[in-house]
Structure 1
Amino acid sequence: MADSLVIVESPAKAKTIGKYLGSKYIVKASMGHIRDLPKSQIGVEVKRNFEPKYITIRGKGSVLKELKDARKKVKKVYLAADPDREGEAIAWHLAHYLELSDSEPCRVVFNEITKQAVKDAFKTPRPINKDLVNAQQARRILDRLVGYKISPLLWKKVKKGLSAGRVQSVAVKLINDRENEIKGFVPVEYWSITAQLKSGKSKFEAKFYSLDGKKTDLNNEDEVNQILKVIDKESFIVQEVKEKERQRHPSAPFITSTLQQEAARKLNFRAAKTMSVAQQLYEGIELGKEGTVGLITYMRTDSTRISPAAQEEAKQFIEGKFGAEFVPSTPRVYSKKNSNTQDAHEAVRPSSVLRQPDEIKSFLSRDQYRLYKLIWERFVASQMTSAVLDTMTVDIAAGSAVFRAVGSKVKFPGFMKVYVEGNDDETTEEDRLLPPLGKGDEVNAEQIEPKQHFTQPPPRYTEARLVRTLEELGIGRPSTYAPTLETIQRRGYVALEEKKFVPTELGELVVELMEEFFPEILDVEFTANMEEELDHVEEGKENWIKVLDEFYQSFEKRLEYAEEEMKEIEIQDEVSDEICEKCGQPMVYKMGRFGKFLACSGFPDCRNTKPIIKDIGVACPKCSQGRIVERRSKKGRVFFGCDRYPECDFVSWDRPVEKPCPKCDSMMVVKNSKAGAKIHCTQCDYKEDAPE
């Protein structure tokens, strides 16, 4: 008979741990939190030291009965929820429900779910850490006070269903501010001159760099024409060749935010999807004869620390697979990004580097494999030697003008043999080889290309860019990034257009009201300081009630002022020219999480909705009678189809262009790649640059 009960959050985790512990342990899942603040009321007694009023979560009755019954059959209970604030709070609520003593060493934590890590954790159980619990309670109560005090005010004064939140309000403000920057941006003209050059059989390009020994920017066409006059009929002579060796160092292993950013860039994953798939990898995957194994360490972390055992295993693996020259002379240590970094957990890494992605691919879903491969490669690369690149800078004179060509080649790949970090601009570092050139060599100018450009506004936030900005500003913590991004979309404050965040009119209005009446909530510094205070509670340096009290004193005054001064605003829906085909009333524009759509103004009696269809000005290549329109899939992805659907079933993920292919007369489409947008023929190999 079993003599111990172990409680974890999920059935997958229970299954993995159960296999390691054997028959003396019953392993059950609590299915996440068992108690929370009530949804129907604020649930916090502000005047009684912010005492929370917890209730059992609806639908948990059968789970709780099962846990209580199992508790009666055993001598010992272990609480093995995740190793963070949230996990500690789950354990604390369970201990309260099962009437375990505060001093009882019932808490076991492990950073990875492997046989060794689990067995080690059960050798050293500890009492529940009240500092961690208090940090979680303080955050929960803080967010509850902000949400439940400001939201009714917005309902009353603006629109029912509106809400405000602490971290998400700052995120919406960042998106809003960026949109205002873009709207206020004034493009500045500039020019470039590119010379297409040839030396022997090798072709390469050089860009105009200086005139009369001074680096010169080209601001308009007149300046370009002057340069073209200077170089007219001049020979292109190599003036100087500089060769240098430079090192490129690997990126640190993943933390939560960098994992979300890189999965967005390389795998096209939303932040919530990254965390969901990472949770599956952490909790355990069935690997045939090896049984169920947790493949990665805990995925909510902001530390790049690696355990000595994992480093040693990586060193042996790299030496065996790639050779001793790929192992650095001393193990790599990555510094903390900032003083707020919590060092409780290791970085996100494979639980064993010996489980190579391709060897376990057959046991993983496509998404699990791709994310595991990303984590595995990033970790292995982080423990390898730097890459060595040979760079070559060549100045070529044409009269008194100088053109510069830059080339590089990888001399020693080092970590690049395994992995290279992506970036938000989707540019890549490739070998740009220049032919062997020496001072005094003459090269042939095959073509001189002047080109007009305009400076671009700052880019809108992608999920990856927004996560990085929140992290840099010290707002939110690893566990909050993905839910924050989901919340601001669900509430209709922002929409995703072409994977970039755009504020909605509703989002702009709420930010405007918050800026006027609750500026602290939107103040980046104030929010970052609050995160630090919560960290201090976790570390036992600060009293959680004091932190809440200091916040609430000024917040209460703001609430009273807003109640008096905030004017009632009625948001009128914009009426369209479309008539509802179901009831004959006009359709109005509404904002959903994927942008605007049309809805019947007779809601809730008539619930008819339909997408807004944009004609892109191209005839349908399949039926010739219809027009190509932009549509959205159920998941919000843009695609292009014939407006005569379902009579004509033409569809394309890529945007068709009006002109046919000059080579074969077929349809051409715009394709975006890391090198920029290009127009491709859908039938032959013809392609050309898309206009800027």
Structure 2
Amino acid sequence: MADTLVIVESPAKAKTIGKYLGSKYIVKASMGHVRDLPKSQTGVDVSNGFEPKYITIRGKGDVLKALKDAAKKVKKVYLAADPDREGEAIAWHLAQYLGLDLTQPLRVVFNEITKDAIKEAFKHPRHINMDLVNAQQARRILDRLVGYNISPILWKKVRKGLSAGRVQSVTVKLIMDREREIQQFIPEEYWTIASKLISNGKEFEAKFYGYGDEKVELQTEADVQEVYKRMADQPYVVQKVTKRERKRNPAPPFITSSLQQEAARKLNFRTAKTMRIAQELYEGIDVGNKEGAVGLITYMRTDSTRISVTAQEEAKEYILEKFGAEYVLAEQRTQAKNENAQDAHEAIRPTAVMRTPDEIKEFLSRDQLRLYRLIWERFLASQMSSAVLDTMSVDIAAGDVTFRATGSKVKFPGFMKVYIEGNDDGTEEESFLPPIEEGQTLEQKEIEPSQHFTQPPPRYSEARLVKTLEERGIGRPSTYAPTLETVQKRGYVALEEKRFIPTELGEIVITLMEEFFPEILDVEFTAHMENGLDSIEEGIANWVEVLDAFYGDFAKRVSFAEEEMKEVELKDEESDETCELCGRVMVYKLGRFGKFLACSGFPDCRNTKPIVKEIGVKCPQCETGEIIERKSKKSRIFYGCNQYPECDFVSWDKPISRPCPKCASMLVEKKRKKQGVSVACTKCDYQEEADS
């Protein structure tokens, strides 16, 4: 007979934990948060110590009733929500609703959902940590005060439905500031000279360095001609060969932000998708009769790279058996700690390194397997020995003109056997130079000058933006995914070619906030507020005092904005198309999934249609329609006939106008990450080299 009730957030977590605890325990799910501030009002009594007014979340009444009925039938209730501020707050709200005795140790926390971790956690229940609860409560109230005071002003002055948030507004400003940098950027001309040389029958490339030992920048074509003049008819003689051995260390195991960044680079996952799949892996996946449901990774909301001794030893055993003693890490590396890190939990790692991706792939979906493999490989590589590279630098003189060639090759792969971290610009391949000796005269194959122009800073990708938010102390790991989703849903930014750009609406809102609420957009101020919340969690600061220090000046700003902010007329951009229903001009609108066309006669006429982008290619199937660019429900671009549904031609690859010279069928562009864009036939084996 069960005499203990355990409450977790989700049914998947309940199923996994229930298997480990046995028949004396009933495990039920609260389905996330159960109480929150009301949506219809601010719900915070500012004059009474910022006292919050909590109500039951709509739809949770039956869940709470079932939990209360279950609690009456048992002797003990344990609250096992996630081990973070939100989890602590959920536990506290449940305790309040169920009337549990807060003087009793009824909180159970664990960093991984495995048999040993669960059983150990239930041996050491603790009291609800009110510092954690108050830190979460202060964040919720702070965000509510900002949102529910500024948003109504934006509704009145700009457009209904707008919102302002403490973290989301700073995020939009970062994107807008980057766009301003790009628009104001003035490109500068520069040149490079590459000389292809031959040593011992093997070709390599050396680049112009300068004159003698002095490095020289080539800014104009005249500078290039001066180089040619000074090296005319001079032989290429090797002046200096420098060889070194260099060690390369692996990236540390994942924290939340680095997981989001790497999943974006390598798996093309959006931030929200990464966190959703990681949650599934953490809560438990049924991996067959041998183990059943088990948590595959440790808790995925963390800012620490710390690894338990048990996990280190398990990794060491696996590496020794799989790769050999030379691949085993002799001594744990010391990782630099981010000054904003809380270090409350371990890094994200597999709960059992012996549970390899290949062994459990039949039990995982494609995306679950890809993310699990990424986490598993990153962790394993972090516990392996360093790679050793042989590097070589060669200075070559043609008269007093110096060219330099560099290269490297892997001498010992170490961790690179398993995993190499990606970067936003693509991973560079290692290259090595042929045998070269000092005093050697080299044969020149060709020399080629190239004109370049400096480039503006790139727009933010999701990975780059998450990295920036983390580095600047804006928000916390759990806030990144919902923040990026919100700023897109509100229409403040759009994602084009996987890069964020501010919309006209976003620019208007941020410009107004820069004038009336500058502290909300101040990165340093936002980071300072995060530190204040951290101080509450650590028991150093009082949550009411932190809120009070913020609210005084903020309330004055709100009153000033209500009086002085002028109304902004946001005009829709007109298109060249007319509405086929009423004849009015169609205008561009921005929705959740990007731009679309809508009738300017709204609400009298509600006609809308997608923006059609023709690519100048006739449909090869019906031969009368035009191929247009479309977007799938997941925003993936594909190509189809504009006569759909009469013609159902579709292609993921972009068709081109000329036919295959071999069989006259349709040619398409094939995009490959490293090789660039190539052209291939859809019917025969004809293919053209990639244009990278």
Taking structure 2 as the reference length, the TM-score comes to 0.95
What SS does the aligned partner of 1:362 have?
A: helix
What SS does the aligned partner of 1:39 have?
A: coil
Alignment partner, residue 387 of structure 1: 387
1:36-51 map, 5 Å: 36-51=36-51
Q: Deviations over 1:136-173 (max 9, x none)?
A: 11000000111111111111111111110000000000
Aligned equivalents of 2:365, 2:257: Cα separation in 1: 23
Alignment partner, residue 322 of structure 1: 323
Q: Deviations over 1:383-408 (max 9, x none)?
A: 11111100111222223322222111
Which amino acid in structure 1 is aligned with residue 269 of structure 2? F
* CA drift at 1:557: 0.3
Which amino acid in structure 2 is aligned with residue 319 of structure 1? L
* CA drift at 1:25: 0.3
1:511-522 map, 5 Å: 511-522=510-521
Aligned equivalents of 1:456, 1:666: Cα separation in 2: 39
1:324-363 map, 5 Å: 324-338=325-339, 340-363=340-363
Which amino acid in structure 2 is aligned with residue 125 of structure 1? P
Which amino acid in structure 1 is aligned with residue 428 of structure 2? E
8 Å contact kept, 1:496–1:594:
no
**Residue 207 (str. 1) matches residue 207 (str. 2):** yes
Aligned equivalents of 1:196, 1:646: Cα separation in 2: 55
Which amino acid in structure 2 is aligned with residue 300 of structure 1? R
Aligned equivalents of 1:431, 1:660: Cα separation in 2: 38
Q: Deviations over 1:81-112 (max 9, x none)?
A: 00000000110010011100111111000000
What SS does the aligned partner of 2:549 have?
A: helix
Aligned equivalents of 2:361, 2:170: Cα separation in 1: 40
* CA drift at 1:178: 0.4
8 Å contact kept, 1:661–1:686:
no
Which amino acid in structure 2 is aligned with residue 323 of structure 1? G
* CA drift at 1:689: 3.0
Q: 1:684 aligns with which of 665, 683, 686?
A: 686
Alignment partner, residue 91 of structure 1: 91
Q: Deviations over 1:8-31 (max 9, x none)?
A: 000000000000000000000000
1:366-377 map, 5 Å: 366-377=366-377
**Count of matched residue positions in the alignment of Structure 1 and Structure 2:** 688
Which amino acid in structure 1 is aligned with residue 577 of structure 2? E
Deviates more, 1:630-639 or 1:546-555: 630-639
Aligned equivalents of 2:598, 2:46: Cα separation in 1: 42
* CA drift at 1:308: 1.1
**Residue 27 (str. 1) matches residue 27 (str. 2):** yes
Deviates more, 1:86-95 or 1:315-324: 315-324
8 Å contact kept, 1:158–1:568:
yes
1:537-686 map, 5 Å: 537-616=536-615, 628-643=627-642, 645=644, 651-655=650-654, 673-675=672-674, 677-682=676-681, 683-686=685-688
* CA drift at 1:486: 0.4
Deviates more, 1:497-506 or 1:589-598: 589-598
What SS does the aligned partner of 2:47 have?
A: coil
Alignment partner, residue 146 of structure 1: 146
Alpha carbons of structure 1 residues 257 and 317: separation in structure 2 relative to 1, 3 Å: same
Deviates more, 1:44-53 or 1:168-177: 44-53
Alignment partner, residue 226 of structure 1: 226
Aligned equivalents of 2:475, 2:464: Cα separation in 1: 15
8 Å contact kept, 1:302–1:342:
yes
8 Å contact kept, 1:520–1:526:
yes
8 Å contact kept, 2:113–2:282:
yes
What SS does the aligned partner of 2:219 have?
A: coil
Alignment partner, residue 461 of structure 2: 462
Deviates more, 1:259-268 or 1:573-582: 573-582
Alpha carbons of structure 1 residues 646 and 515: separation in structure 2 relative to 1, 3 Å: same
What SS does the aligned partner of 1:162 have?
A: coil
What SS does the aligned partner of 1:191 have?
A: strand
* CA drift at 1:437: 1.1
Alignment partner, residue 137 of structure 1: 137
* CA drift at 1:69: 1.1
Deviates more, 1:44-53 or 1:648-657: 648-657
Alpha carbons of structure 1 residues 674 and 195: separation in structure 2 relative to 1, 3 Å: farther
8 Å contact kept, 2:200–2:435:
no
8 Å contact kept, 2:678–2:687:
no
Alignment partner, residue 504 of structure 2: 505
**CA-based RMSD:** 2.1
Taking structure 1 as the reference length, the TM-score comes to 0.95
| Structure 1 unaligned blocks of 5 or more | none
8 Å contact kept, 1:681–1:687:
no
* CA drift at 1:676: 7.0
Aligned equivalents of 1:478, 1:158: Cα separation in 2: 32
Alignment partner, residue 405 of structure 1: 405
Alpha carbons of structure 1 residues 213 and 651: separation in structure 2 relative to 1, 3 Å: farther
Q: Deviations over 1:198-226 (max 9, x none)?
A: 23332221212223442222112222233
What SS does the aligned partner of 2:410 have?
A: strand
Which amino acid in structure 1 is aligned with residue 202 of structure 2? S
8 Å contact kept, 1:314–1:353:
yes
Which amino acid in structure 1 is aligned with residue 303 of structure 2? D
Alignment partner, residue 422 of structure 2: 422
8 Å contact kept, 1:86–1:136:
yes
8 Å contact kept, 2:488–2:592:
yes
Which amino acid in structure 2 is aligned with residue 444 of structure 1? E
Aligned equivalents of 1:493, 1:660: Cα separation in 2: 42
Which amino acid in structure 1 is aligned with residue 271 of structure 2? A
**Residue 441 (str. 1) matches residue 440 (str. 2):** yes
* CA drift at 1:645: 4.8
Alignment partner, residue 527 of structure 1: 526
Deviates more, 1:633-642 or 1:32-41: 633-642
**Residue 269 (str. 1) matches residue 272 (str. 2):** no
Aligned equivalents of 1:407, 1:439: Cα separation in 2: 16
Which amino acid in structure 1 is aligned with residue 526 of structure 2? T
1:104-253 map, 5 Å: 104-253=104-253
What SS does the aligned partner of 2:205 have?
A: strand
What SS does the aligned partner of 1:47 have?
A: helix
Which amino acid in structure 2 is aligned with residue 543 of structure 1? N
Alpha carbons of structure 1 residues 8 and 147: separation in structure 2 relative to 1, 3 Å: same
Q: Deviations over 1:43-88 (max 9, x none)?
A: 1111111111111111112211211111111000000000000000
* CA drift at 1:312: 1.3
* CA drift at 1:618: 5.6
8 Å contact kept, 1:172–1:503:
yes
8 Å contact kept, 1:16–1:284:
yes
Alpha carbons of structure 1 residues 403 and 684: separation in structure 2 relative to 1, 3 Å: farther
